[in-house]
Structure 1
Amino acid sequence: MTILSTRRSVLAAACLAPLLSRTASGHAEALSGPDITLRIARQDLVVDGKPTRAIGINGQVPGPLLRLREGSDATITVINDLDEDSSIHWHGLLVPSVMDGVPGISFPGIPAGGRFTYRFRVRQSGTYWYHSHSGFQEQLGLYGPLVIDPAGADPVAYDREHVIVLSDHSAMSPDAIMTRLKQAPDSFNFQKQTLAGLARGRGLDAGARLRWAGMRMSPTDIADVTGAVYTYLVNGQGPQQNWTGLFTPGERVRLRLINASSMTIFDVRIPGLAMSVVQADGQDVRPVETDEIQIGVAETYDVIVHPADRAYTLVAEGIDRSGMAVATLAPRAGMRADAPPLRARPLLTMQDMGMGGMPGMAMSPRKDAPALGPGVQMVAMMPKDRTGEPGLGLRDVNHRVLVYRDLVARDDNPDVRAPSRSLDIHLTGNMERYMWSFDGVKMSDDPAPIPFRLGERVRVRLINDTMMGHPIHLHGHFFELVTGHGGHAPRKHTVLVQPGGTVTFDLTADNPGDWAFHCHLLYHMHAGMMRVVSVRPEVA
């Protein structure tokens, strides 16, 4: 799938009646207009020459680019040609709860052979995406990009854009993957440290080695599902297929980066080409120069690059260094730059265990921590705000790495009231049993919704009591990260909480209804790391 356009074609497409425009290569570019039809069906997908089965939209993986305009009314009819229920969720869009597309929370789902028409006013602009919220369909290919052009002039100047959809794909069925994870959670970690290596404990004191052994985890347990079973894709194409985005030297090129993977946190860089971040999760930010971005599952970043008359390799490396997605940016077709080798695998540290890196510290649990039990394997003794630190694997690189504290909203925040209350939510789990939860409670335990009063402003602190990063997503809302920028706090719908770390945000609960709140690692969500947030005029 090729998703590219010049600035002129973008503006023209957004203003025309329903259309399906095409690039010179013949690939579908965008669906636009007031009425759009999407058809979900099983299909073949060839990845690096190997045929696999997938679920696509309108015969494509990823699904077609949807191009909407801020302030317009969208009508999107989804036809389900599967033999099972399906759904489409509009990730990051501020829609009425009944249009959010989460079976069992916002609507019943789309039955096999049925259809559902989504209708909503487009209240925002920016880079977003859409995906199934039914079973493991997202893993099989049911996702696609969504771009909303602003009602007025775009504050970001650019000459050409490319939409870059990053994802992971496996020939192994998602059900088989989940079964393996439940039986042996580290079965896809072929880089695991040996017991002898752990005993040698290079860089670890005796107490640290004992704590690692007691956790029954290896410092290499960074990702559950790895390049051992995944091929990493750019716009549906594997590294050998080499998706290519063209440009004219001297242009300002906008790259809309979307992490539509199921389980993979990517480290994105373009060797030899600096990036200026201008948008995060669809929200404009003051430009910040960087050389590498760690992009959590379900996050989006827009960057501007100024390429010279040469080819560049865009690299999206899995956080555990077990594989990478590769694409080319070039002034002419057929050009290709060398791809760098995979870097050394990172190792978890005592900070990732929430120990603060302090040797000999006491192991007594915090008073506010959830109780240890079958579903809570550990608690972070000294969790810390890590929003100013590069992500795992990027702490020792010799170039600039984007951190959350670099992000400053371009516009004033819409609500700057002081929060009226605070709420701590613990991210909990038992890796050995592959159980994931909030506050030690799984979704299958049928917990009561997390209540918010309509219009109230609440300070929420996410505390990661596990040794894995979790991208946490709240449906139907944006929140402001508390990172020291006052009334220009960055606004996001998804935030990556580092191992042993905390993230604090202020939330204005201004969209009534029931909303999904979950880890966006697909298998973590299905293992229990999901809750319902209820926004009502009055809270009992």
Structure 2
Amino acid sequence: MKLDRRVLLRGAVAGGGLAALQGLMPAWAQTGSPGLRADLPTLSGPNIDLTVGQTPFTVNGRTATATTINGVLPAPVLRLREGQNVRLAVTNQLDEDTSIHWHGILLPFQMDGVPGISFPGIRPRETFVYEFPVKQSGTFWYHSHSGLQEALGHYGPIVIDPAGVDPVAYDREHVLVLSDWSFMHPHEILSKLKKSPGYFNQQRTTLAGLISGEDRMSLEERRMWGQMRMDPRDILDVNGSTYTYLINGHGPQENWTGLFRPGERVRLRIINASAMSIFNIRIPGLPMTVVQADGENVRPVETDEFQISVAETYDVIVQPTEDRAYTIVSEAIDRSGMGRATLAPRLGMTAEVPALREVPNLTMKDMGMGDMGGMGGMDHGAMGAQPGTAMAGMDHGAMTGAPGAAMAGMDHGAMAPQAPAGTMSGMDHGSMAGMNMRDPENAPPDMAVGVGVDAIAMAPANRMGERPTGLQDVPHRVLVYTDLVSLQPNKDQRPPSRTMEIHLTGNMERFMWGFDGRKFSELVEPIRFERNERVRVTLVNDTMMAHPIHLHGHFFELVTGGPAGHQPLKHTVNVAPGGKVTFDLTADAPGDWAFHCHLLMHMHAGMFNVVTVRPMDGAAS
């Protein structure tokens, strides 16, 4: 195992000597300390030792206890090479079980690190050895799959160099680990969400905002949202009201800095290792060329901003030519806060930090009404209950694309305008009090429409080509999923032999989440695939929250409508509110694999299942 000087100093703290050792280190080398520091500590070689323990962590002048690996937050970079074998001995110094999942890594399922699914977990004071061949290259990460440890700092980056020539040319690289930190324990955060899902949302629309116009909503729109008991600002369950957004373990005031020489091609390996935060990433004044998504090379595409959901990774190339600093901005999608770092030719330089942009409002599309066209901007004043009209009490499931009909008592799923919510001014929503987005008739036959389902998308739209939340109107280029094209041809280009639809469901008022209306605790049936089966899967988001869905042990190909045979490969995909995502999966990894929303609290509250691929090697199905 190759260890640099910082790791020799910092890795020794696992036994509790952190306080003594930190006094010996310069400020830039201290985890969570103010100021600047060099690149993250790195471990490499065929044998790597990792120790999970507890370490004091300081940000913004406050100190708490973090769950760390080798005493640092984030954990050390694991630098591996395609084609090698790696043996990772993980020792647990906690008073509870722990685990490590190697996110995005293709390996035998027994090494995947999910307690109760692929192994028992690692008990206190015990060591578990993960061993597997490294069969890929790219940017990945690792984290706990035990309890809520991930929210306490148990995560780190993985960089795997290709066996041959890297198709991405660069002169220098920096790993950027994005995360969120709260001094409130994650169990307390979850408890508060269970009691009041809007507990952390301090950006709700207000009477003052209505009068001033600051909320950008009309009285009619406000009335509509109120009658549906929905919040147009319910974008992130947990946000900047409690989180400090970190980049490489540093808060915005501490300003982690990565160096460059003007003219260099700098590769930024960006990993969203947060528990609950989706970010919009930009570097004002510096375009970014996306070259990799989730560790898989893509055809280079230049952009000015992109959204990175929880557990996704993006590699970008930047080429600053001026002798000046640039600010790296990771802004929470609800605009409640931001992470900030700096690219600069020399330490100590800073650039202007942009102000937070205005809070976005959700729209009818986010309610799952995006494909019901033909109704945008219509006068809904005639939509009040009018007994005796031809359509009173009609079955409105068949109303898609039928504007102009009398709509007394309708289920207003068919009311979706194609324009943003701001175009809905002047609508008479008085008749919407009876709106029923939870009508079981709108659910597929295999959905459990019980207390865990408070909405069913009436017309979910494929939103992979749309600009994501809050970026619809920015005056610069924004990356969308349909921009991604695999650099290499897809290995399996067989047409799918069958299709499958999975609904992402929830009850936001009770903070319940699941697949097809069922929580994992309800002993749901696993999702079954035959080995090497080719299946087209559609994820339908019946909720008004984005869900980053992750499948362990596999990559799937997003069906984007792009060049044939070059569908982008992903291990995690963000399914927009009221949207749907379709991917093609070759189930080529036998075993039992976790499949879940990567918003930690959503997974913990039930949006989790097991994908089982059979037969195993030499075994019957």
Where 2:189 maps in the other structure, the secondary structure is helix
Label 1:60 to 1:339 Cα distance change in 2 as closer, same or farther (>3 A). Answer: same
Match of 1:234 among 247, 250, 253: 247
Q: Residue in 2 aligned with 1:417?
A: 494
Label 1:155 to 1:21 Cα distance change in 2 as closer, same or farther (>3 A). Answer: farther
The whole-number CA distance in structure 2 between the counterparts of 1:101 and 1:248 is 40
CA shift for structure 1 position 193: 1.9
User: Is the contact between residue 594 and residue 611 of structure 2 (CA under 8 Å) also seen in structure 1?
Assistant: yes
The whole-number CA distance in structure 2 between the counterparts of 1:152 and 1:354 is 45
Pair 1:324 & 2:402 matched = no
State the AA in 1 paired with 2:444.
D
User: Is the contact between residue 21 and residue 30 of structure 1 (CA under 8 Å) also seen in structure 2?
Assistant: no
Q: Residue in 2 aligned with 1:386?
A: 463
List runs of 5+ in structure 2 lacking aligned partners. Answer: 8-25, 30-37, 381-398, 400-409, 412-438
CA shift for structure 1 position 494: 0.1
CA shift for structure 1 position 141: 0.1
Q: Residue in 2 aligned with 1:224?
A: 237
The whole-number CA distance in structure 2 between the counterparts of 1:454 and 1:379 is 32
Label 1:377 to 1:196 Cα distance change in 2 as closer, same or farther (>3 A). Answer: farther
Match of 1:472 among 541, 549, 572: 549
Q: Residue in 2 aligned with 1:536?
A: 614
User: Is the contact between residue 21 and residue 31 of structure 1 (CA under 8 Å) also seen in structure 2?
Assistant: no
Where 1:176 maps in the other structure, the secondary structure is helix
Where 2:149 maps in the other structure, the secondary structure is coil
List runs of 5+ in structure 1 lacking aligned partners. Answer: 1-16
Q: Residue in 2 aligned with 1:503?
A: 581
The whole-number CA distance in structure 2 between the counterparts of 1:156 and 1:60 is 30
Pair 1:527 & 2:511 matched = no
Match of 2:319 among 283, 300, 306: 306
User: Is the contact between residue 210 and residue 219 of structure 2 (CA under 8 Å) also seen in structure 1?
Assistant: no
Match of 1:460 among 537, 549, 566: 537
Q: Residue in 2 aligned with 1:120?
A: 132
List per-residue Cα deviations over 1:161-188 (Å, max 9, x = no partner): 0000000000000110010000000000
CA shift for structure 1 position 18: 3.1
Match of 1:493 among 562, 568, 571: 571
State the AA in 1 paired with 2:553.
G
Q: Residue in 2 aligned with 1:6?
A: none
Pair 1:147 & 2:159 matched = yes
User: Is the contact between residue 443 and residue 456 of structure 2 (CA under 8 Å) also seen in structure 1?
Assistant: no
The whole-number CA distance in structure 2 between the counterparts of 1:375 and 1:214 is 20
CA shift for structure 1 position 22: 5.0
Label 1:321 to 1:108 Cα distance change in 2 as closer, same or farther (>3 A). Answer: same
Label 1:353 to 1:196 Cα distance change in 2 as closer, same or farther (>3 A). Answer: farther
> Which structure features the higher share of strand residues?
1
CA shift for structure 1 position 326: 0.2
State the AA in 1 paired with 2:272.
N
List per-residue Cα deviations over 1:97-121 (Å, max 9, x = no partner): 0000000100000001111000000
The whole-number CA distance in structure 2 between the counterparts of 1:116 and 1:533 is 24
User: Is the contact between residue 443 and residue 449 of structure 2 (CA under 8 Å) also seen in structure 1?
Assistant: no
The whole-number CA distance in structure 2 between the counterparts of 1:53 and 1:98 is 31
User: Is the contact between residue 70 and residue 123 of structure 1 (CA under 8 Å) also seen in structure 2?
Assistant: yes
Q: Residue in 1 aligned with 2:10?
A: none
User: Is the contact between residue 464 and residue 480 of structure 2 (CA under 8 Å) also seen in structure 1?
Assistant: yes
List per-residue Cα deviations over 1:43-65 (Å, max 9, x = no partner): 10011221121111101000000
User: Is the contact between residue 407 and residue 490 of structure 1 (CA under 8 Å) also seen in structure 2?
Assistant: yes
User: Is the contact between residue 422 and residue 459 of structure 1 (CA under 8 Å) also seen in structure 2?
Assistant: yes
User: Percentage identity across aligned positions?
Assistant: 63
User: Is the contact between residue 62 and residue 142 of structure 1 (CA under 8 Å) also seen in structure 2?
Assistant: yes
User: Is the contact between residue 383 and residue 464 of structure 1 (CA under 8 Å) also seen in structure 2?
Assistant: yes
Q: Residue in 1 aligned with 2:97?
A: 85
State the AA in 2 paired with 1:305.
V
Q: Residue in 2 aligned with 1:366?
A: 442
State the AA in 2 paired with 1:233.
L
State the AA in 2 paired with 1:154.
D
Q: Residue in 2 aligned with 1:190?
A: 202
CA shift for structure 1 position 139: 0.2
Where 1:504 maps in the other structure, the secondary structure is strand
Q: Residue in 1 aligned with 2:260?
A: 247
The whole-number CA distance in structure 2 between the counterparts of 1:69 and 1:21 is 21
The whole-number CA distance in structure 2 between the counterparts of 1:67 and 1:204 is 53
Where 1:405 maps in the other structure, the secondary structure is helix
The whole-number CA distance in structure 2 between the counterparts of 1:211 and 1:449 is 39
User: Is the contact between residue 268 and residue 314 of structure 1 (CA under 8 Å) also seen in structure 2?
Assistant: yes
CA shift for structure 1 position 313: 0.2
Match of 1:280 among 293, 309, 312: 293
Label 1:210 to 1:422 Cα distance change in 2 as closer, same or farther (>3 A). Answer: farther
Where 1:488 maps in the other structure, the secondary structure is coil
The whole-number CA distance in structure 2 between the counterparts of 1:211 and 1:528 is 30
Pair 1:405 & 2:405 matched = no
Where 2:150 maps in the other structure, the secondary structure is coil
User: Is the contact between residue 67 and residue 149 of structure 2 (CA under 8 Å) also seen in structure 1?
Assistant: yes
User: Is the contact between residue 283 and residue 327 of structure 2 (CA under 8 Å) also seen in structure 1?
Assistant: yes
CA shift for structure 1 position 282: 0.1
State the AA in 1 paired with 2:250.
Q
User: Is the contact between residue 589 and residue 613 of structure 2 (CA under 8 Å) also seen in structure 1?
Assistant: yes
Provide TM-score, normalisation by structure 2.
0.81
Where 1:130 maps in the other structure, the secondary structure is strand
Where 1:499 maps in the other structure, the secondary structure is coil
The more displaced of 20-29 and 172-181 is 20-29
Q: Residue in 1 aligned with 2:391?
A: none
The whole-number CA distance in structure 1 between the counterparts of 2:601 and 2:316 is 29
The whole-number CA distance in structure 2 between the counterparts of 1:373 and 1:94 is 37
Pair 1:354 & 2:368 matched = yes
Where 1:213 maps in the other structure, the secondary structure is helix
Q: Residue in 1 aligned with 2:188?
A: 176
User: Is the contact between residue 68 and residue 147 of structure 1 (CA under 8 Å) also seen in structure 2?
Assistant: yes
